[in-house]
Structure 1
Amino acid sequence: MGEYKKLNIKDWAAEDRPREKLLAKGARSLTDAELIALLIGSGNLEETAVELSRRILAAVENNLNELGRKNIEFFKNFNGIGDAKAVTIAAALELGKRRKEADVFHKKQISGSSDAAEYFMPLLSDLNHEEFWILLLNRGNRIIDSFMVSQGGISGTVIDVRLILKNALDRMASAIILCHNHPSGTLQASDADLKITSKIKNAAEIMDITVLDHIIIGQNSYLSLADEGMLI
């Protein structure tokens, strides 16, 4: 029996090689696995880069949004993926998130809960921990700025209402929108969610600042307390 020889991408037909395929037909012609294969460059002794990439995608049920939630250690669990390749994949996924975020920010005007959710989705939907954010708006409901208030969960983190109002007053905001994520994906407002919403809303009213909504971000979905009549 002859010595086993690993089939490298260079041994493939030219039209099947991801790099050549991209150059000839454009990036849109490549599958998700082929795009990841371009990032990692090579597979392992048993798999080509594309085969390895297919196995990585299969581990998240071929869901790129779920892949974006994974950390470096997840990628390094696959034979053939070390620090350099794991970092390359993570960097590419982060660039995709930032591009999406930049597209949303250019819109700048919030006309309903879907606009607010669209703004926060790239920031929060892929996180494995909870973050609480504030969106500052002017009188025309145009975005002034946004900032993170706390990290780690509403029930386990003290939300400083004074800090929120100070930032809103300093930036001359007329309205604010609250937002936090549920890493579990559950779209249900907890008692803690409702209590902190009421606390901030009542304090803001004293300063003539309106709390327009509290958005809860899940995985590619959201809940609007205003839409549900829960903004009390």
Structure 2
Amino acid sequence: MIEDKKKESTELEVPLMSRAELVDFVKRQLSEKHIDTLEDFFNLLKDDKASDVFDNKGMQAYITLLRDELSSNASKLKRLADKDEVGKYLATKYANLKQEEFHVICMDNHLRVISDTMVAKGTIDRSCVDMRAVFRAVFENNAKYFIIAHNHPSGDLYPSSADLHLTEKIDKSATLLDNEMLDSIIVGDGQYQSIKDYYLFE
């Protein structure tokens, strides 16, 4: 007990730790809670239970590692300069999907892609796309801007009435939440269609 207290008192504060020391500190806290595999760790994050494992210092160390990782990788993030480049990027990325998927592409203030999260799969309509999942992806990535996109495996790029209603609903919600939905894109057969261009959202 005395040794443990002595060890705690000699540990560096998080801002003074090197990257290796931060990693060791986080690993030690995870090990103490028997979180021994990546699967265990991802399940922990999925269930939003990180605070049950890390103490205040552990959580600070974990957040510092995440921030440093994002910072070090910022220059590697793909920047999409205009809507045409966005459409081509997504049309290529989702060209071979056999089933309809709905994705939220989050972007930083420099319009670099931060994340690409699938929030629905199957026949996409207003009822199966969970608005909470859409904006959870936006908020968890601290994104000001985002794009929604889904594929039409048939290759038909014509937006359905459900596509239009869902786009309008998400666009209005984003405005209320002080975010900006840059576009809503349909892809198929290596081609794309901007719903914002089609529907003339202002």
With normalisation by structure 1, the TM-score equals 0.51
Distance in 2 of aligned mates of 1:167 and 1:177? 11
SS of alignment partner, residue 226 of structure 1 = helix
What is the number of equivalent residue pairs in this alignment?
A: 127
Q: Could you say which residue in structure 2 is the equivalent of 1:135?
A: 105
With normalisation by structure 2, the TM-score equals 0.58
Kept after mapping to 2: 8 A contact 1:149/1:164: yes
Q: Is it true that 1:203 corresponds to 2:159 in the alignment?
A: no
Q: Could you say which residue in structure 2 is the equivalent of 1:151?
A: 121
Q: Is it true that 1:215 corresponds to 2:189 in the alignment?
A: no
Q: Could you say which residue in structure 2 is the equivalent of 1:161?
A: 131
Distance in 1 of aligned mates of 2:173 and 2:105? 16
Kept after mapping to 2: 8 A contact 1:135/1:145: yes
Compared CA separation, residues 204 and 123, structure 1 to 2 (3 A): same
Compared CA separation, residues 114 and 107, structure 1 to 2 (3 A): farther
Q: Could you say which residue in structure 2 is the equivalent of 1:93?
A: none
Q: Which runs of 5+ in 1 are unaligned?
A: 1-105
Q: Could you say which residue in structure 2 is the equivalent of 1:110?
A: 80
Kept after mapping to 2: 8 A contact 1:179/1:217: yes
The structure whose Rg is larger is: 1
Distance in 1 of aligned mates of 2:152 and 2:200? 17
Structure number with the higher helix fraction is 2
Q: Could you say which residue in structure 2 is the equivalent of 1:183?
A: 153
Q: Could you say which residue in structure 2 is the equivalent of 1:228?
A: 198
TM-aligned CA deviation for residue 202 of structure 1: 1.1
Kept after mapping to 1: 8 A contact 2:94/2:151: yes
Distance in 2 of aligned mates of 1:154 and 1:167? 18
TM-aligned CA deviation for residue 136 of structure 1: 0.2
Kept after mapping to 2: 8 A contact 1:213/1:231: no
Percent identity for Structure 1 against Structure 2: 31
Q: Bigger relative contact order, structure 1 or 2, given CA contacts below 8 A and separation 6+?
A: 2
Alpha carbon RMSD of aligned pairs, Å?
1.9
Distance in 2 of aligned mates of 1:144 and 1:127? 22
TM-aligned CA deviation for residue 167 of structure 1: 1.8
